[in-house]
Amino acid sequence: MGNVGGVSGANRLKSQVVESLTPLKKPLFHLWFKILLGLVLLMLCFTLSSGSLTWMTSPLQGHYHRLLNWTNLLEVPFSNKIHPSPTVNLSEIEETTQSHTELPTALPTAAPTGTLYHQAYPRNYHFIMNNPEVCKTKTPFLILMVPVAPGNLEARDAIRQTWGNGSVVQGEVVVTLFMLGLSEEADVQQQEKLQQENLQHHDLIQSNFMDTYLNLTIKTMVIMDWLATFCPTAAYGMKIDSDMFLNIDNLVIMLRMPGIPQVNYLTGMLMWSREVVRSMGSKWYVSEELYPDPLYPTYTLGMGYVFSNDLPRKYVDISISIKTFNIEDAYIGVCMKKLGIEPISPPNPSQFRAYNVKYDRCEYSQIITYILGSAQELINYWTDLKRPEPPC
């Protein structure tokens, strides 16, 4: 009985030990199960992330990401809409107008995403300085849009003293506006100076894209968007660089000539069958990935081209489906080709000129455009041209 009692006691002790360990085994099992589950999830996440990386670097979706990495200058729409420099505090930059969100009715009105939208699509950006009333108080016959760097006050003042000074030319209303982006060196003080300048002259339009050479296509498309949105009643528009001499009288005379189209009209110095520059050392380099064709369609040289004011909206709408590349005038040529419209040679092609060897008063009285070397040259030539004596 004692042995039996002893065995029974041992069994009871064993049973107690087993019972005391049982509640420990369950959480230990759960712990190992969670660890195993975590490892499985980790492996699954790694697999999915690898697949995502493959998707991001695919030719279609990764196209503009690679361009962004290549230039390190193009701004990423919506994810970094404002100047990335920490010296800029946009809460201190007063917006003079709200962002216009008008989109083609066939497209979603939500924030642009996906392959339909890209860096050059102008409605990816919004205006932080504006003069939307310019075309409400008067209907311009011609509106001159001048892309210029934010810090280039000298060029703006020279234009204001010369070909951008007249509000009525040859009996027609002419308006001159300057298009600016955000400078890499911009700070709050510079923005305040620009706002003061705009309060004085009422001729600055500023959008929140990065104002760099490689972003000229963005700048041009934002110009087109502004015209389509805020000045659709103008008869003609001109995109003209800030280093140009413009004989505005001759331009208005040309546009009033019989037979000049009022719709689907683009003219200037025409470029035919221009080869795409593939040399990576050139500032005009465009990769085959961005533009695969070896030749550009016919386009007008970007120094200064004139268009009927129905075209800006068409450019904006068609640009949704056209890949971005950094040659802005050729990009407009691609838009024209996509629209099925041919640029037209001006009545007198010799009036649109690029570089000159030296100033000649008689010659400058007959041309429309010339590229200059400095703002002071513009003032000097203009002052001389406007002397009362006959130029020739």
Phi, psi (rounded to 5 degrees) for 27: -65, -30
- 304's CB contacts (< 8 A; 6+ apart) are 238, 239, 240, 241, 244, 246, 268, 269, 352, 368, 369
CATH of the domain at 347: 3.90.550.10
Parallel, antiparallel, or unpaired: how do β-strands 304-308 and 266-267 relate?
antiparallel
pLDDT at 89 over 90: no
Helices (H), 72-183: 134-137, 153-161
Give the CA count within 13 Å in the CB-facing half-sphere of 344. 16
- Give me the chain's average pLDDT, please: 78
Decide: helix, strand or coil at residue 287: coil
**Strand-pair partners of 275:** 295
Percent of the chain with pLDDT over 90: 61
Mean pLDDT calculated for residue range 273-288: 94
The pLDDT tens digits of the residues spanning 155-165 come to 999 999 999 99
The pTM of the full predicted model, rounded to 2 decimals, is 0.71
CA nearest neighbour of 239 among 167, 154, 315, 334: 315
Kindly give the residue spans of alpha helices, DSSP state H, lying in 202-277.
216-230, 248-255
What type of residue sits at position 214? L
Q: Which two tokens stand for residue 300?
A: 């007008």
Q: Given a cut of 80, is residue 78 above it in pLDDT?
A: no
C-alpha 354/C-alpha 339 separation (Å) is 27
Tokens of 391: 């130029």
Domain assignment of residue 304, yes or no? yes
Range of the domain at 219: 113-385
Neighbouring-strand partners of residue 168: 173
Q: What is the pLDDT of residues 11-37, one digit of tens each?
A: 333 333 333 334 444 444 555 555 666
- Would you say 225 and 127 are in contact if contact means Cβ atoms under 8 Å apart? no
Q: Is residue 14 part of a domain?
A: no
pLDDT of residue 374: 95
The answer to whether 311 touches 265, Cβ cutoff 8 Å, is yes
DSSP 3-state assignment of 147? strand
164 assigned to some structural domain: yes
- Give mean pLDDT, residues 253-270: 97
**Residue 76: predicted pLDDT:** 32
What pLDDT score does 187 carry? 78
pLDDT digits (tens, 9 = 90+) for 336-366: 999 999 999 999 999 999 987 789 999 999 9
**Which of 57-66, 164-173, 237-246 comes out lowest in average pLDDT?**
57-66
User: In this structure, is residue 119 part of a structural domain?
Assistant: yes
SS3 296: coil
Average pLDDT over residues 302-331: 95
Average pLDDT on 100-106 reads 31
Q: What is the DSSP letter of 82?
A: S
| 91: its two tokens | 């809460």
Contact at 8 Å (CB) between 120 and 333?
no
Rounded mean pLDDT, 139-149 = 97
More confident residue, 82 or 197: 197
Domain count, the chain: 1
What is the rounded average pLDDT of the residues 248-256? 98
Predicted local confidence at residue 144, as pLDDT: 98
Q: 53 — phi, psi (to 5°)? A: -60, -40
Residue with tokens 């699509």: 121
C-alpha Rg value of the chain to the nearest Å? 32
Residue 7: which residues within 8 A CB-CB, separation 6 or more?
Answer: none
- Asked whether 243 and 371 are in contact (CB, 8 A), the reply is yes
| Residue 8 is assigned to a structural domain of this protein | no
Structure tokens at 238: 């001109």
| Secondary element (H or E) of residue 146 | strand 142-147
Element (H, E) at 13: helix 2-56
- The SS3 call for residue 176 is strand
Whole-number percent of the chain with pLDDT over 70 = 69
Amino acid at 107: L
* Residue linked to tokens 């380099």: 285
Closest CA to 209 of 190, 186, 237: 186
Average pLDDT over residues 195-224: 94
